[in-house]
């Protein structure tokens, strides 16, 4: 059995007086594409931020690739963080850098490549996310919403990560762009053998991307399994989320559409 890429054990989070998570467990195996769904305010993004080490849980353990996120010195922490890439909801591109420098930034941080090699690698990443070399000179403020996400994806992939974390990858994109972005993520994850964890509200994205779904409700992972398995579960949130008229339509569309 392959080791879990993400292992969350008995996690609890408290904001003020409210418990967001309590006794939350989740294990994501290598190669899975896992969608994390849940109602608004159920703590999906909070969980994602805890996994990437931006927030500390009140209690519990989080391990990536079998290692804790913190401790063991700057070099070890940095090495661990280079094994995963994050796509933030709004891209979080460095607004002072142009597209090229944004993608080159993590590579330059490594200090192992010369500028020529970095140039080649950045161009490769640009073409991977279906952008043209001339787009490299644009500043983030000049990009459309869809391009920002593509550039951010290219930056997240710059260090050849094994794990990709996506926060609402299709939020704010029109249906057409969101479809093509989902196709891109799916293609890249198959090509590069990525493990993916994404937070989403969008059923089209979920149905098209994920091999498994983790439902976050009642402060824990209520259910974890393939989409069909999840849909069998009788729980008010799951009923509302998956079995509404709109959702059924979305899931059917995907079942028929070839990717």
**Residue given tokens 């059924």 in the structure block:** 248
Q: Name which position in 74, 132, 176, 245 contacts other proteins (CB under 8 A).
A: 74
Max Cα distance, the chain (Å): 57
Element at 164 (helix H, strand E):
strand 163-167
State yes or no: residue 70 binds other proteins (CB under 8 A). Answer: no
Please list, in sequence order, all residues whose beta carbon lies within 8 angstroms of the beta carbon of residue 243, skipping any fewer than 6 positions away.
231
Q: Name which position in 19, 58, 81, 119 contacts other proteins (CB under 8 A).
A: 81
Q: Tell me the window of 15-23, 60-68, 104-112, 204-212 that interacts with other proteins (CB under 8 A).
A: 104-112
Q: Name which position in 5, 24, 52, 147 contacts other proteins (CB under 8 A).
A: 52
State yes or no: residue 45 binds other proteins (CB under 8 A). Answer: no
- 176-205 binders of other proteins (CB under 8 A): none
Please list, in sequence order, all residues whose beta carbon lies within 8 angstroms of the beta carbon of residue 207, skipping any fewer than 6 positions away.
227, 250, 251, 254, 255
State yes or no: residue 100 binds other proteins (CB under 8 A). Answer: no
**Beta strands 220-225; 67-68: pairing state:** unpaired
Q: Name which position in 5, 24, 86, 118 contacts other proteins (CB under 8 A).
A: 86
Q: Name which position in 3, 15, 41, 54 contacts other proteins (CB under 8 A).
A: 54
Half-sphere exposure of 214 (CA within 13 A, CB side): 26
Q: Tell me the window of 4-12, 80-88, 201-209, 215-223 that interacts with other proteins (CB under 8 A).
A: 80-88
Q: Name which position in 67, 82, 180, 189 contacts other proteins (CB under 8 A).
A: 82
- 144-163 binders of other proteins (CB under 8 A): 159
**Beta strands 59-64; 4-15: pairing state:** antiparallel
**Residue 235 DSSP label:** -
- How far apart (Å, rounded) are the C-alpha atoms in residues 133 and 34? 32
CB 82 within 8 A of CB 30: no
Q: Which is nearer to other proteins, 96 or 132 (CB)?
A: 96
Reported residue count of the chain is 259
Number of residues that bind other proteins (CB under 8 A): 25
State yes or no: residue 53 binds other proteins (CB under 8 A). Answer: yes
Nearest approach in angstroms of CB 12 to other proteins is: 22
**Residue given tokens 């974890």 in the structure block:** 224
Distances in whole angstroms, Cα of residue 19 to Cα of each of 22, 37, 41: 7, 18, 11
Site string for other proteins, 105-134 (x = CB under 8 A): xx--x-x-----------------------
Residues that bind other proteins (CB under 8 A): 49, 52-54, 74, 77-82, 84, 86, 88-90, 92-95, 105-106, 109, 111, 159
């Amino acid at each position: 059995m392959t080791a879990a890429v993400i292992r969350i054990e008995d996690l609890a989070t408290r904001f003020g007086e409210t418990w967001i998570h309590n006794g939350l467990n989740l294990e994501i195996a290598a190669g899975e594409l896992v969608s994390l769904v849940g109602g608004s305010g159920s703590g999906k993004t909070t969980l994602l931020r805890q996994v990437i080490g931006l927030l500390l849980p009140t209690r519990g353990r989080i391990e990536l690739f079998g290692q804790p996120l913190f401790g063991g010195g700057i070099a070890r922490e940095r090495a661990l963080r280079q094994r995963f890439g994050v796509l933030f909801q709004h891209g979080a591109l460095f607004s002072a850098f142009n597209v090229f420098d944004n993608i080159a930034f993590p590579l330059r941080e490594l200090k192992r490549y010369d500028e020529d090699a970095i140039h080649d690698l950045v161009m490769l990443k640009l073409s991977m996310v279906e952008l043209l070399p001339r787009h490299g000179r644009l500043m983030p403020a000049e990009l459309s919403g869809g391009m920002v996400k593509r550039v951010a994806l290219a930056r997240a992939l710059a260090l050849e990560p094994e794990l990709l974390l996506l926060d609402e990858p299709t939020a704010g994109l029109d249906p057409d762009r969101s479809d093509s972005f989902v196709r891109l993520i799916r293609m890249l994850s198959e090509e590069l053998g990525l493990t993916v964890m994404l937070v989403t509200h969008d059923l089209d994205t979920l149905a098209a991307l994920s091999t498994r779904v983790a439902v976050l409700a009642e402060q824990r992972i209520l259910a974890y399994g393939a989409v069909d398995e999840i849909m069998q579960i009788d729980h008010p949130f799951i009923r509302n989320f998956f079995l509404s008229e709109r959702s059924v339509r979305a899931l059917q569309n995907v079942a028929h559409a070839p990717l």
